[in-house]
Amino acid sequence: MPLLKEYEPFTGPQTIEELYLLAEKTRPRVIQNINSTAVGGGVAEILSRMLPLMQELGVNAKWDVIKGGEKFFKVTKKFHNALHGKSEEITQEDFTVFDEASEMNRKSMELSGDIIFIHDPQPIALVLQKNSLKAKWLWRCHIDVSNPDPKVWNFLRPFIDLYDAAVFSAQAFSPELPIRQFLITPSIDPLSDKNKELSLVTIESVLKKFNLDLEKPIVTQVSRFDYLKDPLGVIEAFEMVQRHTDCQLVLVGGTATDDPESTEVLAKTLDRASGNPDIHVLAIPSGSDIEINALQRASSVVVQKSIKEGFGLTVAEALWKGRPVVASAVGGITLQVVHKYSGLLCHSIEGTAHSIKQLLQNPEYAKKLGENGREHVRQNFLLTRHLKEYLLLFLSLFHKGEIIYL
């Protein structure tokens, strides 16, 4: 794992000094992170990169994982989908399974932190132990709960209301709650394989591997094959662009063999793309981070035409590489792309096509947007900012008011 000093070229030395200062104020407290899995998924990825940095700062941060059988995780997966607004059949038995697993974890888990930092809904009911402990309780919601299924939301609400504060990734996800709520956006790690600098040789070797034309401008969307990412809409927009500009489209995403919907969307995308040699649909194994990095870096325009989006970190990844971005004005994307400053926002297929054309035909303008975008990410969406806000969050639990003197 990288050391904090390795982030200094991106943040400047003062940011690292500030982290040490905040850590010193946080240091007497023990931070106990709890989630449902040690590997796989965004939460585990963030924690695995964040915790070593907290520990390097001298913060006593630890990470525990709740236990749950197959039945429990089936139920929490349904909860997850329902909170995202997807229709799910949830029975009384599902709630009972959830309650029983939560009870078992309350009995078996040692809750020893001064701040108990619960991630996502799976461990949410541990908060019922609150009265027997002196700890402060935080609930970190990583999902888009702007239109949740009321049945699941109403089930979870009594737990949420017991916390000292909740944290959401975008303001649009914030419901009215009787507890304090903070906005902390996710982040990318500039030193990870997905975002680190690559040599031209590596980039070209990836382009050759996927039979891409090195001379032709590339338009890319990176996303899993999902209706909500609208790959068919991207193809339609690309074909409008192609009428006037010679370019190639790359739709690249990880494959998920356990997701029948993804297989269906991939098949439809391949079918729609067939017959157009300039459209490359690349279903690659998850974890192909260097390949994704290279494709983003080689792109003239990166598109994210999502219909719904949690946060859309692929946008931050592209902006970090100085790429001009065309993206839908949905969810957390609007925090990353300020229209005409750090990219172009759109609301339709036609608008997407128009914006892609604008950027392909005006490389100077595209370059300026890309530069602004990289700077915007440097200041707002790197792991170090995320770490700083977590430390501020911990401190906020022990101070009142809107101006806090440390």
Partner 1 sequence: MTTDEAPKTSQPFQFYSRLHLRELTGVKAKNLKELVSFLKVVPDAVIYHHTHHFLQQHQSLSPEPTNDFSHWVTFALNEVELGEKLASINAIEFPSIQELRAKIVSTIENFLEKTKRELREANEGQELYFLKSISFIFPTPYQVTSLEEFVAALEKVTTDSIYFHMFEARLYRGKGTNDFSIWCQQALGETELAKQISRLDSYTYTLEGLRGKIIALGRARLKKTA
Kindly state the number of chain residues that form the binding site for partner 1, as judged by CB under 8 A: 43
120 binds partner 1 (CB under 8 A): no
What is the CB neighbour count within 10 angstroms for residue 205? 14
377 in Cβ contact with 322 (< 8 Å): no
- The DSSP annotation for 87-105 comes to -----HHHHHHHHHHHHHH
Which residue type sits at 283? A
Chain centroid, CA 169 distance in Å: 9
372 binds partner 1 (CB under 8 A): yes
Range 280-339, binding partner 1 (CB under 8 A): 329-331, 334, 338-339
**Residue keyed to tokens 């040599």:** 199
Q: Which is nearer to partner 1, 141 or 207 (CB)?
A: 141
Distance in Å, CB of 184 to partner 1, minimum: 8
Q: Across the chain, which distance is largest between two alpha carbons, in Å?
A: 68
Distance CA 35, CA 250 (A): 35
154 binds partner 1 (CB under 8 A): no
* Dihedral of alpha carbons 70, 75, 76, 81, sign: positive
Structure tokens at 202: 């590596």
Distance in Å, CB of 110 to partner 1, minimum: 29
Please pick, from the candidates 5, 9, 12, 93, the single residue that binds partner 1 as defined by CB under 8 A. 12
Q: Which residues make Cβ contacts (< 8 Å) with residue 354, sequence separation at least 6?
A: 346
Q: Which stretch binds partner 1 (CB under 8 A): 72-80, 240-248, 275-283, 392-400?
A: 392-400
Which of 283, 325, 285, 294 lies closest to 195, judged by CA?
Answer: 294
Range 166-225, binding partner 1 (CB under 8 A): 168, 171-172, 174-177, 180-184
16 binds partner 1 (CB under 8 A): no
Q: Which is nearer to partner 1, 252 or 359 (CB)?
A: 359
20 binds partner 1 (CB under 8 A): no
Distance CA 21, CA 1 (A): 22
Distance in Å, CB of 403 to partner 1, minimum: 5
Distance in Å, CB of 302 to partner 1, minimum: 19
Distance in Å, CB of 252 to partner 1, minimum: 26
Please pick, from the candidates 36, 195, 269, 396, the single residue that binds partner 1 as defined by CB under 8 A. 396
Half-sphere exposure of residue 380: CA atoms within 13 angstroms, side-chain side: 20
70 binds partner 1 (CB under 8 A): no
> Any idea what DSSP says for residue 74?
H
Q: Which is nearer to partner 1, 218 or 333 (CB)?
A: 333
Phi/psi for 63 (5° steps) reads -140, 120
Please pick, from the candidates 14, 108, 131, 211, the single residue that binds partner 1 as defined by CB under 8 A. 14
275 in Cβ contact with 296 (< 8 Å): no
Q: Which is nearer to partner 1, 215 or 402 (CB)?
A: 402
22 binds partner 1 (CB under 8 A): yes
Distance in Å, CB of 339 to partner 1, minimum: 6
Chain centroid, CA 320 distance in Å: 14
Distance CA 319, CA 338 (A): 12
Distance in Å, CB of 34 to partner 1, minimum: 22
146 binds partner 1 (CB under 8 A): yes
Distance in Å, CB of 379 to partner 1, minimum: 7
379 binds partner 1 (CB under 8 A): yes
281 in Cβ contact with 115 (< 8 Å): no
Q: Which is nearer to partner 1, 128 or 184 (CB)?
A: 184
Q: Which is nearer to partner 1, 274 or 379 (CB)?
A: 379
Distance in Å, CB of 183 to partner 1, minimum: 4
Chain centroid, CA 300 distance in Å: 23
Which of 280, 281, 277, 325 lies closest to 299, judged by CA?
Answer: 325
Which residues sit at the interface with partner 1, rule CB under 8 A? 12, 14-15, 18, 21-22, 146, 168, 171-172, 174-177, 180-184, 329-331, 334, 338-339, 341-342, 372, 375-376, 379-380, 388-389, 392-393, 395-396, 402-406
